Amino acid sequence: MKIKPIIVVAGEPNSIFSEIFLKSIKFKRFKSPIILIGSLSLFKRQMKFLNLNHEINLINEKYINKLNLNNKKVNIINVEYSGYNFFGKISQRSNKYIEECFSVAFRILKKKITHKLINGPINKKYFLKNKYLGITEYISKKFNIRNYAMLIFNKKLAVCPITTHLPLKFVSKNITQKIIQKKILLINDFYLKKLKYKPRLVITGLNPHCESIDKFNEDEKIIKPTIKYLKKIKINIQGPFSADTIFLKENRKKFDVIIGMYHDQVLTPFKTLFEYDAVNITLGLPFLRLSPDHGPNEKMIKSNSSNPLSLIRALEFLDIL
């Protein structure tokens, strides 16, 4: 069977992504052909800066389904706009470029040429303009997907926040039994279909120690009934557990996925444990979308010191599927 290519959207041009991309393909040759959607001139400048020399295969989007792509060259669909100061400061000037890169990728995905997408980091302040909480929501909206989940994945452990890039004051209002159920069912389905095993799931409480001085305790009124229902339909789940102890070694080794109520509740301990050895997977889309678990980090541009491990893990994950 022909191996499907991995589409890579370069993301913010004034970021470390071009550096870690080049480091990733230098580190390992992947079985899947890689199609980079982004600026050819930026790519060449970064190669020169890092003193690397990868063979480039410039391809035309219109004929992509007729091309015999291979994994020995870097296949590039060039997206260029004038007026950019690459390796400069992030600003809204990059928006049109980033949007065009995503548009090209979406057209390829809709043609079913592949089901594998990786995107480089973007700056939410400028690109999303408060219209979306994050790229997870941006991509889901483009494909009319309402039921999705963010899974930060490592082979040893994964985490999922029920709410994503949401201010804390809005978290409790956006937690319901229905929302929790849908996200946990997506996680369970992903592990069964893609990873071929039934996951051991655990869910945290919202409040410290799963207790509240308020009359309405979300842990008692929302989370516990949800767990009871999920157990009834044979989901392997436990909880709610206090978030300040679930990541202790003897606790976390009992589970495959820890589901938290908000972003930093699970991502802070997770990143402390695994650092760059993780990828961000969007569940619920009609294709596999991954992104390296880091931001643009413009302060480290030209330092040649960025760690490519997260992107390597993303490429490795999609390479076997």
Q: Is the pLDDT of residue 86 over 70?
A: no
Q: Structure tokens of 23? A: 């480091």
Residue 84: predicted pLDDT: 61
Residues 139 and 69 in one domain: yes
pLDDT tens digits, 93-137: 899 999 999 999 999 999 999 999 999 999 999 999 889 999 999
| 1 and 141 assigned to the same domain | yes
- What radius of gyration, in Å, describes the C-alpha atoms of the chain? 20
Strands 74-78 and 34-38 turn out to be parallel
The answer on 5 and 119 residing in a single domain is: yes
- The b/e string for 231-256 (b: 16+ C-beta within 10 A; e otherwise) is eeeebebebbbbbeebbeeeebeebb
Domain enclosing residue 41, as ranges: 1-145+285-321
**Residue 187 near residue 237 (C-beta atoms within 8 A):** no
The domain that holds 163 is classified in CATH as 3.40.718.10
Same domain, 238 and 296: no
CB contact at 8 A, 225 and 231: no
Query: What would the pLDDT profile of 223-253 be if each residue is shown by its tens digit?
Result: 999 999 999 999 999 999 999 999 999 999 9
Q: What is the pLDDT of residues 277-319, one digit of tens each?
A: 999 999 999 999 999 988 898 889 888 999 999 999 999 999 9
Alpha-carbon gap, residue 216 to 117, rounded angstroms: 42
Q: Most distant CA pair in the chain: distance in Å?
A: 64
Beta strands in 147-252 (DSSP E): 149-153, 158-161, 201-204, 237-241
SS (H, E, C) 45-88: HHHHHHCCCCCEEECCHHHHHHCCCCCCCEEEEECCCCCCCCCC
pTM: 0.94
Kindly state whether residues 176 and 267 are assigned to the same domain. yes
Residue 109 and residue 157 in one domain: no
Task: Tell whether 73 and 121 lie within a shared domain.
Answer: yes
Indicate whether 173 and 132 sit together in one domain.
Answer: no
In a shared domain, residues 23 and 141: yes
Task: Compute CA distances 105 → 134, 143, 217, whole Å.
Answer: 18, 12, 44
Total number of domains in the chain: 2
Could you tell me if 133 and 64 lie in one domain?
A: yes
Identify whether residues 50 and 179 lie together within a single domain.
Answer: no
pLDDT of amino acid 2: 80
Would the pLDDT of 1 be above 60?
A: no
